[in-house]
Amino acid sequence: MPSPRRNVDARPLAASASSSSSGPGSPAHGGGGGGGGGGGGGRFEFQSLLSSRAPGLDPTCTRLRASESPVHRRGSFPLAGAGPSQAPPAPLPEEDRMDLNPSFLGIALRSLLAIDLWLSKKLGVCAGESSSWGSMRPLMKLLEISGHGIPWLLGTLYCLSRSDSWAGREVLMNLLFALLLDLLLVALIKGLVRRRRPAHNQMDMFVTLSVDKYSFPSGHATRAALVSRFILNHLVLAIPLRVLVVLWAFILGLSRVMLGRHNVTDVAFGFFLGYTQYSIVDYCWLSPHNAPVLFLLWSQQ
C-alpha cells in the first residue's frame, strides 16, 4: 500500500501555476494522484482530473491537442499561462519516478511492514501496566531476564571455571564463543538497520547497550534460538525437558512483542539469525585440536 510521499496540492491549477512549476505539491514536482495514484499513471491521472473538473481554468489547458497532452509528452505538465517560449519543467528526479512506479517487491514489502506494525500493536498487550494484559507484565519481564545476555555470559563463565572435564570445557568454551558472536552480530545489524522500537514500548529494560535503542533484530530472540539449539545438540536431556527448552525459546520471542519491545518481524528475523549463528558456531567448533592455545590458557587459570 504505497503512499505518495508528498500530499496532493488541491489548489486550483491557476493558483498552482503561479508558483514555481517544480514547487512542492505541484504535479511536476511529483505530487501523486489524490485518489491513491501511487501507480505509474498517478501523475497524469491527477493532471487530467484537474483539467477536466476545475471550471474557470485557463483555457490553454483544455485546448491542448492530444499530441501536446502531457500523456504524450512524458515529464512535462501544462501550466496556466506557460507560453511556448518558456522552458519545459525539469524531468522528474529519479527517486520520484521510483516512488510513483513502485515495483511488485516494493508493494509486497510495504504491505508486510504495514501488517507487521498492525499485528505488533495488537499483540503488545503487556506494553504498559494499564494495557489489557498489564498484570502479566512482571512475568514477561522475568522471562526477559531469562534471555538477557548478562546472566548467560556470567553463567557460562561460572560453569567454565567449575568444569573439571575437557569435554565440558570444550562445550562451554563454544557456548561462550556463541554468546559473544551473537552480541557482536546483533549490535552490528541493529547499528546498520536502526529501526526504532515500537512507539508503545517503555524503555525500562535491565542493562542495555547503546544499540539496544534499536529493535531489529531482537537480541533475545537470537539468543533464544541460538542457546536452545546449542542445548538440544550438546546436552543429553529427556524429551519433556527438550520440549521445555523449545517452549522457552518460543515464549521468550512472543513475550518481546507482548511487552511492546519489538515488532513481529524483529523477532522472526531474530529466530532466523540465532538459528544460523548456531550453524556458524558448529562449523567453526573450537576444540583442543584446532585451538590448543585457548584451552591451555583456560586450564592455567
Ligand X SMILES: CC(C)=CCC/C(C)=C/CC/C(C)=C/COP(=O)(O)O
Q: State the Cα–Cα distance between residues 267 and 243, nearest whole angstrom.
A: 20
CB of 276 to ligand X, least distance (A): 17
Q: Which is nearer to ligand X, 157 or 235 (CB)?
A: 157
CB of 191 to ligand X, least distance (A): 12
Q: Phi then psi for 37, rounded to 5 degrees?
A: -80, 60
Position among 27, 78, 219, 260 found at the interface with ligand X (CB under 6 A): 219
CB atoms within 10 A of CB 231: 18
Report if residue 124 touches ligand X, rule: CB under 6 A.
Answer: no
Catalytic residue among 72, 148, 200, 220: 220
CB of 212 to ligand X, least distance (A): 5
CB of 103 to ligand X, least distance (A): 31
The alpha-carbon radius of gyration of the chain (Å, integer) is 29
Q: State the Cα–Cα distance between residues 263 and 246, nearest whole angstrom.
A: 21
Report if residue 218 touches ligand X, rule: CB under 6 A.
Answer: yes
- 132-141's contacts with Cβ under 8 Å and 24+ in sequence apart are 133/258, 136/258, 137/259, 140/255, 140/258, 140/259, 141/206, 141/259
Q: Is 289 a catalytic residue?
A: no
Position among 220, 257, 269, 281 found at the interface with ligand X (CB under 6 A): 220
DSSP 124-184: -TTSSTTSTTGGGHHHHHHHHHHT-HHHHHHHHHHHHHH--SHHHHHHHHHHHHHHHHHHH
Position among 66, 87, 207, 293 found at the interface with ligand X (CB under 6 A): 207
Q: Which is nearer to ligand X, 82 or 273 (CB)?
A: 273
Catalytic residues, by residue number, are 220, 262
Q: What is the contact surface with ligand X in residues (CB under 6 A)?
A: 148-150, 153, 183, 205, 207-209, 212, 218-220, 256, 261
